[in-house]
């Protein structure tokens, strides 16, 4: 689990730099440092870290717990809170976001490393348990969880837009059969008239999220997914 990609969200520059240097000495990859709510959301979207170290007290910004609540609307990334606060109200709010760890400042490198290792292990174990429940194998290490309607590459969830998810689900439900342009358009845009360029753009965006070969184009007719196997 070394070299895991970690994002630091900390508004005190000296503290953030100290954490960064400590993480790098422990062979982790620091993908970036964010100082507030807005920067955190922007960097997560671009960098897709495997774990986030989140300071709870972010000055001149929504606090770390509110930031995590917003992150969790789109991403399933393990969180370790960093804080100087140990009051019951703060802890209760933090626990409700289901973090994988909670470190009280000041902390030493050994404590930080142990918390990260445990957090990464817990997160991976939860995903491995979850991924075996209701999973469809799409080939090339891609899987689709039909119960929770989530798409995975190996153990890592891949976020899809609403339309991307609808298209993928439609193709999976067809079990390798061809789905026509007309049926796709009606399923995704039932109340709109769309042209072929809109559909092609959606297919292109979906293909950029995984192996291009998973979706086959049937010229002048539609699309199909190449491999659907229930595990």
- Is the pLDDT at 68 greater than 60? The verdict is yes
Helix axes 88-95, 64-71, angle to 10 degrees: 10
197/194 Cα distance (integer angstroms): 8
CB within 8 A of 46, min separation 6: which ones? none
pLDDT band for position 131 (cuts 50, 70, 90) = very low
Q: What angle is formed at CA 205 by the lines to CA 204 and CA 207, rounded to 5 degrees? A: 65
167/129 Cα distance (integer angstroms): 26
Helix (H), strand (E) at residue 224: strand 222-225
Q: How many CB atoms lie within 10 A of CB 7?
A: 23
Q: Which domains does the chain have, with CATH numbers?
A: 5-130 (3.40.50.2300), 135-230 (1.10.10.10)
171/185 Cα distance (integer angstroms): 13
What token pair was written down for 34? Answer: 């964010």
What token pair was written down for 92? Answer: 């209760």
DSSP states along 72-84: TTT----EEEEES
- Is the pLDDT at 193 greater than 80? The verdict is yes
Which residues on neighbouring strands pair with residue 18, listed in sequence order? none
Say what the pLDDT of residue 1 is.
Answer: 47
138/29 Cα distance (integer angstroms): 30
Task: Kindly report, residue by residue over 144-181, the tens digit of the pLDDT.
Answer: 877 667 788 877 788 888 899 899 989 988 888 999 99
| 47-56, 133-142, 200-209: least confidently modelled range | 133-142
Task: Kindly report, residue by residue over 29-59, the tens digit of the pLDDT.
Answer: 999 999 999 999 999 999 989 999 999 999 8
- Antiparallel, parallel or unpaired: β 150-153 and 156-158: antiparallel
- Is the pLDDT at 133 greater than 60? The verdict is no
Which residues on neighbouring strands pair with residue 28, listed in sequence order? none
| Contact call for residues 49 and 77 (beta carbons, < 8 A) | yes
- Is the pLDDT at 130 greater than 60? The verdict is no
Structure-model confidence comparison of residues 202 and 124, the more confident one: 202
What token pair was written down for 152? Answer: 């995975």
In this prediction the pTM is: 0.56
Task: Kindly report, residue by residue over 101-128, the tens digit of the pLDDT.
Answer: 899 888 899 999 999 988 887 776 665 5
CB within 8 A of 58, min separation 6: which ones? 9, 11, 35, 36, 37, 64, 67
């Amino acid at each position: 689990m070394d070299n895991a990609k970690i994002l630091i969200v900390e508004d005190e520059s000296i503290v953030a730099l100290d954490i960064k240097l400590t993480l790098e000495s422990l062979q982790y990859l620091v993908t970036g440092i964010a100082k507030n709510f807005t920067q955190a959301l922007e960097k997560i979207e671009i960098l897709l870290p495997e774990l986030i170290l989140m300071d709870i007290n972010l000055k001149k910004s929504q606090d770390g717990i509110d930031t995590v609540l917003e992150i969790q609307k789109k991403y399933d990334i393990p969180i370790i809170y960093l804080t100087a606060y140990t009051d019951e109200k703060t802890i209760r709010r933090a626990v409700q976001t289901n973090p994988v760890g909670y470190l009280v400042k000041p902390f030493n490198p050994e404590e930080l490393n142990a918390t990260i290792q445990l957090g990464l292990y817990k997160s991976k174990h939860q995903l491995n348990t979850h991924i075996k429940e209701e999973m469809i194998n799409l080939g090339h290490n891609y899987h689709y969880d039909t119960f929770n309607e989530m798409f995975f590459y190996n153990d890592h969830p891949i976020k899809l837009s609403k339309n991307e998810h609808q298209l993928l689900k439609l193709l999976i439900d067809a079990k390798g059969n061809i789905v026509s342009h007309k049926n796709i358009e009606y399923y995704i845009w039932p109340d709109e008239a769309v042209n072929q360029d809109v559909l092609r753009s959606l297919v292109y965006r979906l293909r950029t999220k995984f192996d291009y070969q998973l979706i086959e184009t049937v010229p002048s007719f539609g699309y199909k997914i190449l491999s659907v196997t229930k595990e």
